[in-house]
Structure 1
Amino acid sequence: MADWDIRKLQILRTLRERGTVTATAEALHMTPSAVSQQLTNLSRQLGVPLLEARGRRVRLTDAARLVLTHTEPVFEQLERAQAALAAYTGGEAGEVRVGAFPTSVPTLVVPAVRALRGTHPGVLVRVREAEAAEAYDLLTAGEVDLALSLAAEAPSAADPRLTQVPLLADPLDVALPPDHPLAPAPDLTLTDLAAEPWIFGGSGPWSDITRRACEAAGFSPHQGHSASGWTAILAMVEAGMGVALVPRMAATRRDGVVMRDLGPDGPVRHVTAAVRRGGESGRAVTHVLQALRGAAAAGAHPGVNPY
Structure 2
Amino acid sequence: MTGTTEWDIKKLRILRTLSERGTVTATAEALLMTPSAVSQQLSNLARQLGVPLLEAQGRRVHLTDAAHLVLRHAEAVFAQLERADAELAGYLAGETGEVRLGAFSTAVPALVVPAVAALRLTHPGVEVRVRETEAAESYELLSAGAVDLALSLAAHAPTARDPRFTRIPLLADPLDVALPTDHPLAAAPSLRLADLSSEPWIYGGSGPWSEITRTACEAAGFVPEQAHSAAGWTAILALVEAGMGVALIPRMAAPRATGVTVRSLPHDRPIRHVIAATRRGADTAPAVASVLTALREAALPRA
SS at match of 1:7: helix
C-alpha displacement of 1:264: 5.5
C-alpha displacement of 1:90: 0.6
1:233 aligns with 2:236: yes
- Matched with 1:32 is 35
**1:78-135 residue CA offsets vs partner (Å, 9 max, x unmatched):** 0001111111111111111101111111111111111111111001111111012221
C-alpha displacement of 1:147: 0.5
Distance 2:267 2:277 in 1: 27
- Matched with 1:95 is 98
Distance 1:244 1:114 in 2: 31
C-alpha displacement of 1:188: 1.0
Matched letter for residue 97 of structure 2: G
1:63 aligns with 2:59: no
1:83 aligns with 2:83: no
SS at match of 1:246: strand
1:172 aligns with 2:172: no
- Matched with 2:125 is 122
Distance 1:18 1:189 in 2: 44
- Matched with 1:220 is 223
- Structure 1, 78-87 or 248-257: larger mean CA deviation: 248-257
C-alpha displacement of 1:29: 2.2
**Number of residues paired by the alignment?**
300
Matches within 5 A, 1:135-150: 135-150=138-153
1:291 aligns with 2:289: no
- Matched with 1:19 is 22
**1:4-44 residue CA offsets vs partner (Å, 9 max, x unmatched):** 11011001111112222222222222222222221122112
SS at match of 1:245: strand
- Matched with 1:245 is 248
Q: In structure 2, which of residues 271, 281, 302 is the aligned counterpart of residue 278 of structure 1?
A: 281
SS at match of 1:212: helix
Gaps of 5+ in 1: none
Matched letter for residue 233 of structure 1: I
Q: In structure 2, which of residues 194, 209, 213 is the aligned counterpart of residue 210 of structure 1?
A: 213
Matched letter for residue 251 of structure 1: A
- Matched with 1:155 is 158
C-alpha displacement of 1:174: 0.7
Would the aligned equivalents of 2:192 and 2:267 in 1 still touch at CA under 8 Å?
Answer: no
Gaps of 5+ in 2: none
The RMSD of aligned alpha carbons is 1.2
Distance 1:270 1:245 in 2: 15
Matches within 5 A, 1:45-64: 45-64=48-67
SS at match of 1:128: strand
SS at match of 2:38: helix
SS at match of 1:96: strand
- Structure 1, 203-212 or 96-105: larger mean CA deviation: 203-212
Distance 2:274 2:267 in 1: 18
SS at match of 1:273: strand
